[in-house]
Chains A and B, each alone.
Chain A
Amino acid sequence: MIYDEHFGSPQRRRVLTAAVLVIFGVLLLRLYQLQLLYHGELDKKSEENSVRALIREPIRGYMFDRNGELVVDVGPAYAITLIPFEFDKPGGGLLSSLLKMDSLTLEERIARGRIYSPFLPSRIKRDVDIRTLATIEEYLPILRGISYEIESKRVYPARAFATHLLGYRREISDAQLAQFSDYYRQGDLVGIAGLEARYEPYLRGEKGYEFVSVNARGQIIGSFEDGKRDVPAREGCDLLLNVDIGLQAFAESLMTRNAYTGAIVALDPSDGGILALVSKPDFDPSILSGVTPAELWSQLQSDTAKPLFNRATLTRYPPGSTFKMVLAAAALQEGIIDEQYRIRCTGAYRFGDRTFKDLHVHGSVNIIEAIQKSCNVFFYQLILKVGFEKWTECGRRFGFGRITGIDTGEETAGLIPSTAYYDSRYGKGKWTQGNLLSLAIGQGEVGVSPLQMARYAMALANGGTLHQPQAVRFIRNKRTNKLEEVSHDSSSVGIFPEVIALLREGMRRVVQEPGGTGGLARIPGTISAGKTGTAENPHGEDHAWYVGFAPFDNPKIAIAVMLENSGFGGSKAAPLAGLVMEKYLYGQLRRALPRPAPTKPDALKAITQAVR
């Protein structure tokens, strides 16, 4: 130490000693103040009025459709609560018979509650009916530690199910609870699918706290300090949807009426707003509105019809001929052909030692006619001119092979094959140009979701913009009364407008001109455009596809329809698309509904009805 005259000097010792004495003195004074001066008051509080915080559940946010119609509502549900510390074991028998719960389950729930806190009420049975509640209330004087809470559950006033879109809630899992223990507690319902899951932080609101006084035995004797310290629960935010719930209901009814399995996705071409999103089979979301019984859940999970599976966003089927505009765009964009270019279709195309067939002999066709008539031979030859890379690139431009960013939850990115993919799948040099011919007509490994197809239809409708599909337009904060707009990404597909115009003309002819494959999609009084597709299915009947939009000049709706194992796109999917678009554009149908397809028994309906 060079500079050490002060190191540990007596003066510095005196200062530190003084500091310790000051700390000691201050704490002692405060102790004196609390324990002797304020003792009477605080002791009274403690003897008669110890304080306990009770959780007050917030009201979950509502959902309204684009016309302001209430889609998801909230209603009361009654939960029986129990304070483990106060509950007498002998009361268990009575309680389990009142709640119609076996005593083992009851004991297990009490044990779980004790882990959360022995002194706070835990919910031991949720969503009990009014009669049970009334009986419990009668017995309250002899059931110590038992009370009830009013919770909210979902109510669905709309005619539509919209299960996969709106989503549903379940009791929080232990893993989630461990992660979010700062807000949730055992037994809380959290969104696990669809909008309920994605917008959980907005919808849930904030729990409130009510401070109550309890006596020395822990029984509640009144509010604490007249509720001055209470924190009211904050209502959750409302979601204002892009969805037209009337359209959704109509689209669902078309699917149900024909007993179709599949999906319909309708988008607003101007901003990507989701007008309807149907996945069938589905189920009535109100069966999951409160607490879901475990047996119902496992039944839903094991159902062979897979009602929990969102076919609109998660299936990955080949798109069939609906994909032909991708190849056409690639060829025109790169200047490989122009609209004058013609091919003579003889009804089949020989490549190597294989013959690739077409449905008809189309004669001499140019690109527009090839789309109109869905001429396979034209596209077989075209892909050999365009090449694999250009095709892959153009598919990616239209958003295939990547997710859409939809706000309803899970979706697949699908698959758009590339040379790299084939090299890794079959080995370098082990695949041939023959593989390409399947891709040309949307068969083979290419996998797309109905949602991606709707996005593709949207880009063709609006001249080449991919908007991120969003079900929610605004989030309404009821406390600040502010509307927060949900932003969405938009990007251009980067295809020349003249090229898109040619594709659109082809698609118009598909619907409007004789010889087009999509005549059944025609809407009386409105010109529409589209493309049919039939995805070959090695495991059974083909999947029917249709993509389209209307009106042709100023599109208000873009749509994709996918029907599993139902046959031709032109005969099965196209009429549905036409009906849905007509309903949206005119608000109603102005013609009689076509007769339903022959029905298959609806296994799921039987299940959900049996459970309810």
Chain B
Amino acid sequence: MTNYLKEYFDYKAFLLCLALVAVGLLSVYSATFDVGAAGAFEKQVVWAGVGLLSMLIAALFPIRALQRIAFPTYIVTLGILLVVLVVGKTISGSKSWFGVGGLGGQPSEFAKVATILALAAFLARTTTSLSNVKHLLIAIGIVVAPMILILAQPDLGTTVVFFAMLLPVLYWAGASNFILAAIIAAVLSAAAALFGTLTFLITLVIAGALLYLTRQNRFAAAVAFALTLAIGLSVQAVYERLPAYQQKRISSFLNPELDPKGAGYNVLQSKVAIGSGGFFGKGYLQGTQTQLNFIPEQWTDFIFCVPGEEFGFLGASIVLTLFAGLLLHGIKVAYLSKNRFASAAAIGVTGIFAIHMLINIGMSMGLLPVIGIPLPFVSYGGSALIANMVMVGLLMNFYANRKEH
């Protein structure tokens, strides 16, 4: 019986996920129990229950069927994102459509899952080859389409997540270093174009070097470099033509520290909270920063402060280890899977978790710019929690069926 369990039940993914959800519930409770956000903990518990159920369904869903419905689901998801965008625009001013946990946030969480599955299904087709430019562009397009719809919402954080998911999946599916370098170069140049001429030039030099080092033939490298330059220049041209208020919106996205009351202050508070935790932490519900201070996104984007302050280095490094364990396990599942669809999808899921963890925790500790994305399993928010647990369910599913072709 135990052998049978070990063979088909991915207890590692299951337990790691449960442990992280538990950390989340503890943290949300601590951050909210005496603040105006009463009821947040109870809601999170309910969502965790729904998530558990969804996780089991995802774990038991036949892979073949999953693969078959991947594209139709993806198309429907795109439709929903479009509706949210259009309806959200006509009801502008009613912020609930855009706010955290609002309807605007919800579809994009599930769009992550749908996009991973569609990309994996495409890469698993026997005729797909990433050295074929057309196929490569389709693969990129599958990710870029929802990304654009989400960027327009506007939700920069989720957009970054989509892009970060694409790279490891393409790499896993056999894309050459040159292809990866070309994609990175294009995105770098598009982003750098908004930071002034000097930054743009330096980025071009870096992009050129990347392409040169990974080149397979000179012509392709030259074309890729020309594209990189063209993308950067056109982004710049479009940006300059935007009305001032839209420019401001973009620049505050890119450089949130400029916002006087916002990000800089939060990061400072967050660093003090984590640092003051010391080795053992201040004890559960004893964190003075968590309990007394004003960190507006304390139970969403800055949730990592809570374990950081109350459980100290000991607790926080355990949280980091849980995440690292889950990520390494995800890669292992991908490696063991004989089914290419499952394998690529497992890397996609792992990539999503990795980028969320890196950006969120990095931001809380002042390592990375403030981009508002939640910490998987831990941050308050129903749709993200359920979507993340579904993704763990998928990992469990892929593990159980790893020997199937």
Contacts and interface: CB of A to CB of B under 8 A. Distances in A.
A230 B100 CA distance: 28
Contacts of B317: 28, 31
Contact of A178 (B95, B321, B335): B95
Interface stretch (B62-70, B121-129, B153-161, B379-387): B121-129
Contact of A35 (B125, B279, B354): B279
B271 A34 contact: yes
A42 interface: yes
Nearest to B296: A117
Contacts of A114: 36
A1 B340 contact: yes
B289 A46 contact: yes
Contacts of A216: 288, 292
A30 B278 contact: no
Contacts of A117: 36, 294
B320 A28 contact: yes
A299 interface: no
Given A34-B274, A35-B308, A36-B313, A119 B294 contact: yes
Interface in B122-177: 123-131, 168, 171-174
A67 B272 CA distance: 55
B293 to A, nearest CB: 5
Interface in B336-385: 337, 340, 343, 347, 350, 354, 357-358, 361-362, 365, 367
B174 A53 contact: no
B275 interface: yes
Contacts of A372: none
Contacts of B276: 39, 42-43, 45-47
Contacts of B275: 34-35, 38-39, 41-43, 45-46
Given A43-B275, A231-B260, A30 B365 contact: yes
B196 interface: no
A297 B222 CA distance: 71
A479 interface: no
Contacts of A179: 93, 95
A39 B347 contact: no
A208 B357 CA distance: 34
Interface residues of B, number: 66
Given A53-B265, A119-B293, A31 B35 contact: no
Contacts of B172: 7-8, 12, 16
A9 B327 CA distance: 17
A13 interface: yes
Contacts of A45: 272, 275-276
Nearest to A211: B265
Contacts of A12: 171-172, 174
B343 A8 contact: yes
B328 to A, nearest CB: 6
A31 B365 contact: yes
Interface in B102-133: 123-131
Interface stretch (A17-25, A278-286, A326-334, A585-593): A17-25
A36 B358 contact: no
A51 interface: yes
A115 interface: yes
B273 A24 contact: no
Contacts of B127: 2
Nearest to B268: A51
A8 B294 contact: no
B331 A13 contact: yes
A34 B269 CA distance: 13
Contacts of B261: 53, 207, 209, 231
Contacts of B93: 179
Interface of A: 1-10, 12-13, 15-17, 19-21, 23-24, 26-28, 30-32, 34-36, 38-39, 41-43, 45-47, 50-53, 85, 114-115, 117-120, 178-179, 181, 207-209, 211, 214, 216, 218, 229, 231
Q: Which 8 A-B pairs have the closest CB atoms?
A: A42-B275, A46-B276, A6-B174, A24-B324, A35-B313, A2-B129, A3-B129, A34-B275
Interface of B: 35-36, 93-95, 123-131, 168, 171-174, 260-261, 264-265, 268-269, 271-279, 288-289, 292-294, 308-309, 312-313, 316-317, 320-321, 323-324, 327-328, 331, 334-335, 337, 340, 343, 347, 350, 354, 357-358, 361-362, 365, 367
Given A1-B340, A20-B324, A50-B293, 17 more contacts: A1-B123, A7-B174, A8-B335, A16-B331, A20-B328, A21-B324, A24-B324, A28-B317, A31-B316, A31-B365, A34-B308, A42-B276, A45-B275, A47-B288, A119-B293, A214-B292, A229-B264
10 contacts: A2-B129, A8-B335, A8-B337, A26-B362, A27-B362, A30-B367, A53-B294, A216-B288, A216-B292, A231-B260
